[in-house]
Chains A and B, each alone.
Chain A
Amino acid sequence: GDSVTQMEGPVTLSEEAFLTINCTYTATGYPSLFWYVQYPGEGLQLLLKATKADDKGSNKGFEATYRKETTSFHLEKGSVQVSDSAVYFCALVRHKFYFGSGTKLNVKP
């Protein structure tokens, strides 16, 4: 069945470091792919999305490219900030949402 696998956390980085959070998916057909972020004490917020192969989603300095050949949608940011500390969820939609288990990011000053 459809599923999403993302790297386990926590990921701990220093401010201004480069971030990659890996996400791969299994699905028949062509799902839409999403990254959601959950800040401490808050609900899930859409960070970015891509609806077809080779699309690049971007927002707040984060980027992810929909790679059909590797079934991946890795999240990247060139220079993280302390305020980026949160839990990040990769997700796909095909008839319904399927979420990964989340990756906690800690950014130290």
Chain B
Amino acid sequence: GAGVSQSPRYKVAKRGQDVALRCDPISGHVSLFWYQQALGQGPEFLTYFQNEAQLDKSGLPSDRFFAERPEGSVSTLKIQRTQQEDSAVYLCASSNGTNYNEQFFGPGTRLTVL
């Protein structure tokens, strides 16, 4: 596709539910990143993939957060037993090359946990 796409764009979950957020990176981009952006804040790094390998997951806030990219293209961020503090916009970005290069961001998924 022309850019990074994410789905759903909006998700409302009840506290305790599991959610899955999808990211389709730009075709051919080897690097994929997930960020969490709280209201009024800048994006905060969650995790990084190079192809299917998850090279850095130091930003995942708890073991309820899990990300995968099994075939090196589409990625899914899963949050188990959602809590109210998980409410945020989740951004996906992809890059052609090392993680130092320009990252192209998707529109984000706004998650609201009630």
Contact = CB atoms under 8 A, between A and B. Distances in A.
Contacts of A43: 3-4, 91, 105-108
Interface size class of A (residues with CB under 8 A): 20 to 34
Contacts of B91: 43-44
A100 B44 CA distance: 9
A102 B56 contact: no
B48 interface: yes
A54 B108 CA distance: 34
Interface stretch (B13-21, B72-80, B96-104): B96-104
Contacts of B108: 43
Contacts of A95: 99
Give the interface residue-count category, chain B.
Answer: 20 to 34
Given A32-B100, A89-B42, A101-B41, A96 B56 contact: yes
A33 to B, nearest CB: 12
A61 B100 CA distance: 24
Interface in A33-77: 36, 41-46, 49
Nearest to B38: A101
A96 to B, nearest CB: 5
Interface of B: 3-4, 33, 35, 40-45, 48, 56, 59, 91, 93, 99-100, 102-108
26 contacts: A4-B42, A36-B105, A41-B107, A43-B4, A43-B106, A43-B107, A44-B43, A44-B93, A46-B104, A91-B42, A93-B100, A95-B99, A96-B45, A96-B48, A96-B56, A96-B99, A97-B33, A97-B45, A97-B99, A99-B35, A99-B43, A99-B44, A101-B40, A102-B40, A102-B41, A102-B42
